[in-house]
Structure 1
């Protein structure tokens, strides 16, 4: 049986490696950050990385799993409270999808660094990572798409996925807080995130409610 102090040391080593990898991937990208840099930043040897993760690809996956498991657990808990109910609104479901992600992007706890890692994933078109994310988290999008389909019966499933993909892109941009609207020095980060959530939910709801392309007037 593993002793508690030993297990604690194991978790500490693993967490140090994950934290160092996340920061380096955020700064240098997945190809640009080497395992040697990760081990130096985490103050461990290469054997420790191999023991806990086995390869750089697996380390990258675990950096995502550490954040996305928690994020999507919160999303699903929120969705389960809403799904199938007569009084559930489109805004309610978008709130369940958007707000947990914006909460993740807060500066404390390393969330801001992970947002940059997420942006790297979009920019670098890493097919191995894309497959990992699809296989492990694609079911989350499908369950949200099911509820959107229930609330928007006039939209084809393909339209739902297109719009959910676009909402996700806008959400990622909002998480990065890199737009023209910057948080003012006298505004708390929590209040700024709340304002961002409200604007994004209203904007996304309007886009989701727009008629299906097959029913829309032809453009001139």
Structure 2
């Protein structure tokens, strides 16, 4: 029987950085802390990442690439199955993110990292996320717009922004609703997804109001 391969040096650095960024934030975490937690020297960080900025980016990339692929595959399936249905489109956005939040291998830490990204002003990180993952929101915006064409582009993106913020809150488990005793993580996640999708669908279907 073969034994699982040990984590590579790069994986150890990423895992340590993710935990520390979740705990102390990006500006509050030093490379020395990362090397100490990962039990490597600074040369290893420089070799694999070159800079702290690149390390931050890679912490996001290793989680978000997979989530992006899952979201876009689910979106494609939803649109092909029923192009006039809003809830499956929202499920394609919500469910892969909640599944990642429940990943036992650092998912919870990464959720706190995402919360840090919202809270801290980090223009370089925001540009990285926009450049590499901005197309995901655009694809979802296009699909949602086909279902609720009465929304202007500005209104649509306001509501998408609110959905993303609500999803981040739900993934971070900061809310009042905790997993009940005797309920599995999977069942609790499914309930959270259903409630958020229903809430978001009502928001997207709400008639625009002229505030001029």
TM-score normalised by L of structure 2: 0.94
1:23 paired residue number: 19
Shift, 1:177, TM fit? 1.1
Equivalent residues of 2:83, 2:147 under 8 A apart: no
C-alpha separation in 2, matches of 1:88 and 1:146: 12
For structure 1, the 5+ residue unaligned runs are: 1-7
Instruction: Give the ranges of 4+ consecutive aligned residues of structure 1 lying more than 3 Å apart after TM superposition.
Output: 84-88
What secondary structure does 1:180 align onto?
coil
Equivalent residues of 1:74, 1:100 under 8 A apart: yes
Equivalent residues of 1:82, 1:88 under 8 A apart: no
C-alpha separation in 2, matches of 1:90 and 1:47: 50
What secondary structure does 1:143 align onto?
helix
For structure 2, the 5+ residue unaligned runs are: none
C-alpha separation in 2, matches of 1:100 and 1:89: 18
Once superposed, what is the RMSD of the aligned Cα atoms? 1.6
Equivalent residues of 2:163, 2:200 under 8 A apart: yes
Q: 1:107 to 1:71 in 2, by over 3 A?
A: closer
Shift, 1:211, TM fit? 1.0
C-alpha separation in 1, matches of 2:120 and 2:128: 15
C-alpha separation in 1, matches of 2:78 and 2:133: 20
1:194 paired residue number: 190
Equivalent residues of 2:84, 2:146 under 8 A apart: no
Pairs within 5 Å for 1:50-61: 50-61=46-57
2:63 paired residue number: 67
TM-score normalised by L of structure 1: 0.90
Q: Give CA deviations for 1:161-211 in whole Å, capped at 9, x if unaligned.
A: 110000000000000111111112211111111110000000000000011
2:181 paired residue number: 185
1:157 to 144, 150, 153: 153
Q: 1:179 to 1:131 in 2, by over 3 A?
A: same
Q: 1:193 to 1:28 in 2, by over 3 A?
A: same
Pairs within 5 Å for 1:58-207: 58-83=54-79, 86=82, 88-207=84-203
